Structure 1
Amino acid sequence: MGNTDIAVTGIGMLSPAGIGLEENWYRLCQGTSLADHDPLLAGLRTDFSCAVRGLNAASVLGHKMARRLDAFAQFAVVAARQAVADAGLDPTQWQSERVGVVLGVGSNSLHSYEKPFSLLGQGKADSMSPFNIPRSLPNMAAGEIALDLGARGVCFTTSSACASGATALGTAMDLLRSGRCDIVLAGGSESGRSRMTAASFGRMGALSSRTADPEAASRPFDTERDGFVLGEGAAVLVLERAREAHRRRARLHGYLAGYGATADGYHPTAPSPSGEPAEAAIRAALLDAGCGAESVDHINAHGTSTVLNDETEASVLRRVFPAGPPVTANKSVLGHALGASGAIEAAATLLSLEYGKIPPTANLQCQGSGLELDIVTKTPRKRRMRTAVSTSFGFGGHNAVLVLRSSRSD
């Protein structure tokens, strides 16, 4: 443990793999894609997604709250409650003004706009819900967590596209290191399953069009990859300064040890071909954690299954990590949860460190030239690990990288 490491004392998570850590870990280790045809997307060029199933929001949150919240905010509140319970914290007892919330949200649930836009087009503006704006604002995930759990410290949303969740975790580290907060609930939440989102990404050529076999669609680093699969979900981590977590004898999932972020400054949607800004973010995160590339035992890659991202990322990982630590790509199983993905993958990486096991990447059949990495496939790989890296890259050229450490030797 370094002097500036931040302890992760609680994790809450829901994704297409399930509700809670146990279900998510089990399905990730199965290594089978959860993509399926989606009734919300019927008739579109890409009519499948990875959806969160089994969440009865009205039962968990109450009918009134469930009606008020959009899906991404529902996910966030559920994950935050799980995380706080996992951390053994009682919100009625904490010093609320010292508890912060930082949530990454890339956009919002565009599905909610479809009905009001239709009413507006029909000249029925007076029939629109007064909740349209507060329901859909990206900041409401963080705001609703603060409202639900009585967190009255720093509270805001980070939006760096698909790097948003990782950006939120890195920002939360800074808040704790600076002393502005004693506890931060941080992560990401998003639901990208809307016809607007699917149609728009489809027109860009970013989504897989493998409609005859959705389960085989998300295939990071495979020569036959043709785009990503829309997903959804949330992960919230309870973060505390390590010395304070130790003082209260908290159970630790591990540590956030380093954070690096850069911008490509190259193109709205394509990564910089050189990969140099992404490489700089990885090296900055390692420097922040006080460790060298040779110390990294595992990499959880951004791995979107798009042609350009995977090619660039593989090249960068080979340059930074010539020893070739084992790599996994959770989006092959869960789909791409956009702004939530960095937080979900950070949570999965911590579980890998905690249990000494790397979940496999689904659908990888052939690694072509330029994609050669030691990618875990088919079955989980057991490995004693101390340090891992999780990478996240987003439209607009946002690069965010986290270094995570195991707590098992403490």
Structure 2
Amino acid sequence: MAEHPAYPVGLRLSGRRVVVLGGGQVAQRRLPALIAAGADITLVSPEATPSVEAMADAGEITWARRPYQDGDLAEAWYALIATSDPAANTAASAEADRHRVWCVRSDDADQATAWTPATGHSEGVTVAVLTTDARGRDPRHTAAIRDAVVEGLRDGTLVAPHHRTRAPGVALVGGGPGDPDLITVRGRRLLAAADVVIADRLGPRDLLAELPPHVEVIDAAKIPYGRYMAQEAINNALIEHAKQGKSVVRLKGGDPYVFGRGMEEVQALAEAGIPCTVVPGISSSISVPSAAGIPVTHRGVAHEFTVVSGHVAPDDERSLADWPSLAKLTGTLVVLMGVDKIGKIAETLVAHGKSPDTPVALVQEGTTAAQRRVDATLATVAEVVRAEEVKPPAVIVIGAVVNVGPSPAA
């Protein structure tokens, strides 16, 4: 048997009996995929890891809490043998042969009738890699090949053309706080497949350089507005390109629904009958403080954090924030788009009871190569911003968590 390569096949196990012998680390790694395949799983093992036990408690598997017994593999379609008892493994393998059940053995691959490939997933595709020569099996090499293929599909460096017409539409993609590595896998994949990308100023610019030459990249800040408001013009551009049958990505900084006006675009597309996918992004309100060494919550220091827009001053009639209530909170206050209004914000918070000595950190260009952190207090922040020439985009963190981590100079 070792002279011949394994024959690759995809098993459809939905509703079919699968038996797993052993509740240790091997079972813990393999069970999620079997559950996802819809298999009717019976686990036979006296003990199990906490994670495997949780699967049984959730009803995802049936757990027979005993050692293997002859007859356990009857009526099974597939078996995974992974006990710590070599004699039990050998006996179960022999039973699998008698019942013609495809059997994987974690302790002796050469005695198995099936091997588990290194698998990975990209949208709509499962990649499974097997070593063809049983005598030269190298699981780490196989996994490395799997990872390279899946990563290439996800980031667009390995492109397989679609031979069926793609449905046109728009994807609102949250690009994260700025570092191109912090976009989601799905966001990067949609970006790689786009015909048109309409990008915000605060989106991860480095990702645009990776796009193929045929992709039309439109700077949202430079769309001719004419008689339209800026957002209306962007909405119209999304609709126009989608109606031309193109795959459009609206690349936004952070998350589309965190001060990103994403819902306005979704509503406009819905009214125009354009299908839209929303891909969440990592919000700068959490990620940028983290990148600067600031936890927005910390045990014994802050049990809540509040994110507020600072694009209008507290005394502006357009402001919807309840600043007097915000001043009374004991947790962390994260202010976005508030650099030019921070003086008035600090003054209002102090006026409504916040201590002037409350620590403040401003993190400019967070997660990028240009990131810098400037520390102050509510009493000094307005002057510090002027003296240090802090410019947008910057995330402002107000609260005791600013002093929890190592000092910025450390």
TM-score class, shorter: under 0.3
More helix by percentage: 1
TM-score where L is the length of structure 2 = 0.24
Q: Which has the higher contact order (CA 8 A, sep 6+)?
A: 1
The structure with the larger Rg is: 2
